[in-house]
Structure 1
Amino acid sequence: MRRRAALLAAPFSAVLLAVSGCNAIPEDWKTPAFMQSQDEELDDRLPTVTGDVGSEPEVEFPKIAPPEEQVSGVVKKGEGEGELVRSDDMVLANIVDYQWKAKGETEKSQSTYETDTPVLLELSQMGEELTSDLVDQRVGSRVVFVFPSQQNSQQSQQGQPSPEPGSSVSIVDIEKRYGKGDTVSGEQTTNGGDGLPAVRDEGSEQPDISIPEDTDPPEDLETVELIEGEGPKVEKEQQVVVQYTGVSWNNGEVFDSTWKRGGTPTAFPVGVGQMVEGWDKGITGQKVGSRVMLVVPEDMAYGEDAGSGNAPEGTLVFVVDILGAVDQPPAPDEESGGSGDGNSEKDKEE
């Protein structure tokens, strides 16, 4: 099944790109200051950040030049219910970015609070240097990262603009976590059947999907709501966070499933042609919190030539738990180079 990675806010995403490109944090970035976030006392080079998680933070920068090494720390510990964030979780976060250009000179460059588009962070795809302050925190925690300019040096190698002097600062608010074994709540009001596959709920394990014997598949897309959610409807161009299992009608065998990968949820865009047509049409309009069975005919799946591309052939059956739906962040405004809200400060004190 086709997919694309979640878009992230820059410059946090730029640092992610640089780190993933070299597969390890360079030695000259590994400084004692990086580890100070593990101490009880925060590094005094970090900005002071106040306000409640869930709303735009207020930020006050120390009257010093930007640090020349990475500094990070948990400035607010959350009280969210449930287990702590784990290293293989997907986290929904609001991110506010600043450019710390010089002593007393800062400018906000981007805020997901302003665009109302929190982002999905797949922690397993991020390096420890970025996740160490996020893992083992509760929902509602706030983490501040200061990245020196040289950490963005690989941007030019990736075809991105060269970094500005100074440091970039990212404030990351943990709004929600999606973890291994997560499923929607509620009991199935139907198991399907009546000429369609039957689905047995296996709890926090892969559902059992039985294809009816001696029955031809339907010619049109069939969508069956097994559990009705109470959340908002999934809209076109959103990313959905899901657990899913895909079965071939031809042989009843599972060809793809998040449960085969340990039961860790994943995210897909819907309604933009990145997925098979049956997903785009079948998931759009469903409520978050729903479990849905999709019976996707061949022409809305991988088509007649599926076998030549090692894709599953014929009619496909999916059982999908819709755990969340998130709007896509807007593309960075390369023209303005920032948020354009005039939120900057110039320290007159030398």
Structure 2
Amino acid sequence: MSACSSDGGDDAAATSAPDNAAATSAGPDSASSTAAASTDIADVDVDVADEDGVSVPSLTLGGDTFADGAVPFSLEATETKEVDEGDGNTVEAGEEVTVKYLAVNGTTGEELLSTFPTEESVVMDTSSELLLPAFAETLVGQKAGSSYILGMPPADGFGEAGNANLGINPGDTVLFYVEVISSATPLSQAEGEEVEPKDGLPTVEADGTSPATITIPDDLDAPDELVVEQLIKGERAEVEAGQTVSVHYTGVKFSDGELFDSSLTSGTPSQRSLAQARSLKAGMKAWLDSPSDPVC
């Protein structure tokens, strides 16, 4: 599925093109749906339960829980079934789409992944070659606020090899319930109102196409705690808890200003959930509290 680049863990793996090396690790006794008869996606529905105040959907087949329905379920072509139409902006080709989703193995009825229990979301880049073809095909044209069921055969998803790491065996059809939250054309660089930085801090020159130039004053003492200074106040929607954010970054060592990493070297932004961002912040604080060289 590609939603999130390689930083996104299992969610990213579930939305990105299959890793054939990992997929072929399934043992010889693995189940396969290659001989299963196709089933009409019209028989697939969504049931929503309240779990501690959180709405958590599950898929049903013929009115039964999916695993108790007429499995194995398989399709020869990508099919969709609309659940809610939505009335927001229409997703355009090339946009990044924020979604929540549930994935179910059509052969076994087993739930594979779901973002709903944690109320998190995933960003899928419709221009990315890593995005599974079925998502690239069905997300464009959807409206924000819409939801739909997606039936993904191997040809438009994980291939005949499947993905053993996710519990998808050769030939399995995978079903998704997808809620479209929003979409936007990704920025090539930060846009908004420039903020006058405080005196005595490192200065930054950035053009959005190459690693930023960060200059550290010679008389500036290394910090003993995390310092954050906003340089541009964005004008788009405020980031909310549970969302995945896409960022470009440049990092240099405080001691000599030497570049140690930048997403702009490859041109591919880093995508992280806010939970990962909190972990990153905690990790950087631990780094600053250690004898290691502080960073900017």
TM-score range, shorter chain: 0.5 to 0.7
CA positional deviation for 1:94: 1.3
Residue of structure 2 equivalent to 1:20: 19
The code of the aligned residue for 2:100 comes to N
**Whole-angstrom distance in 1 between the partners of 2:210 and 2:86:** 29
| C-alpha spacing 1:83/1:16, structure 2 compared with 1 (3 Å) | closer
CA positional deviation for 1:244: 1.9
CA positional deviation for 1:247: 2.4
- Alpha-carbon RMSD: 5.3
Correspondent of 1:131 among 132, 135, 160: 135
User: Residues 183-202 of structure 1 correspond to what in structure 2 (within 5 A)?
Assistant: 185-192=191-198, 194-200=199-205, 202=207
Alignment length (residue pairs): 256
Does 2:11 match 1:8? yes
User: Residues 235-274 of structure 1 correspond to what in structure 2 (within 5 A)?
Assistant: 240-262=245-267, 264-267=269-272, 269-272=276-279
Unaligned runs of 5+ in 2: 1-5, 25-31, 48-54, 64-69
User: Residues 169-188 of structure 1 correspond to what in structure 2 (within 5 A)?
Assistant: 169-177=175-183, 180-181=186-187, 185-188=191-194
User: Residues 3-152 of structure 1 correspond to what in structure 2 (within 5 A)?
Assistant: 4-8=7-11, 13=14, 19-22=18-21, 45=41, 47=43, 67-73=73-79, 75=81, 80-81=88-89, 84-86=92-94, 91-98=97-104, 112-113=115-116, 115-121=118-124, 124=128, 126=130, 128-134=132-138, 136-137=140-141, 140=144, 142=147, 144-147=149-152
Residue of structure 2 equivalent to 1:222: 227
CA positional deviation for 1:197: 0.5
**Whole-angstrom distance in 1 between the partners of 2:73 and 2:86:** 27
CA positional deviation for 1:259: 2.5
Partners of 1:95 and 1:171 within 8 A in 2? yes
**Whole-angstrom distance in 1 between the partners of 2:143 and 2:192:** 23
| C-alpha spacing 1:154/1:83, structure 2 compared with 1 (3 Å) | closer
> Structure 1, residues 315-343: CA drift from partner, whole Å, max 9, x if none?
311xxxxxxxxxxxxxxxxxxxxxxxxxx
| C-alpha spacing 1:65/1:221, structure 2 compared with 1 (3 Å) | closer
**Whole-angstrom distance in 1 between the partners of 2:209 and 2:43:** 42
Partners of 2:78 and 2:153 within 8 A in 1? no
| C-alpha spacing 1:47/1:204, structure 2 compared with 1 (3 Å) | farther
Partners of 2:79 and 2:152 within 8 A in 1? no
TM-score with structure 1 setting the length? 0.50
**Whole-angstrom distance in 2 between the partners of 1:239 and 1:182:** 17
**Whole-angstrom distance in 2 between the partners of 1:119 and 1:109:** 15
Partners of 1:242 and 1:266 within 8 A in 2? yes
Partners of 2:41 and 2:81 within 8 A in 1? no
**Whole-angstrom distance in 2 between the partners of 1:109 and 1:82:** 28
* Aligned partner of residue 144 in structure 1, secondary structure: strand
**Whole-angstrom distance in 2 between the partners of 1:113 and 1:234:** 13
CA positional deviation for 1:251: 3.7
> Structure 1, residues 250-293: CA drift from partner, whole Å, max 9, x if none?
44344322333325342261344x67722x68xxxxxxxxxxxx
| C-alpha spacing 1:170/1:115, structure 2 compared with 1 (3 Å) | same
The code of the aligned residue for 1:21 comes to N
| C-alpha spacing 1:162/1:113, structure 2 compared with 1 (3 Å) | closer
Identity %: 20
Partners of 1:85 and 1:177 within 8 A in 2? no
Partners of 2:33 and 2:74 within 8 A in 1? no
CA positional deviation for 1:172: 2.0
| C-alpha spacing 1:29/1:228, structure 2 compared with 1 (3 Å) | same
* Aligned partner of residue 257 in structure 2, secondary structure: coil
CA positional deviation for 1:81: 4.0
Partners of 1:92 and 1:177 within 8 A in 2? yes
Partners of 2:244 and 2:271 within 8 A in 1? no
Partners of 1:96 and 1:170 within 8 A in 2? yes
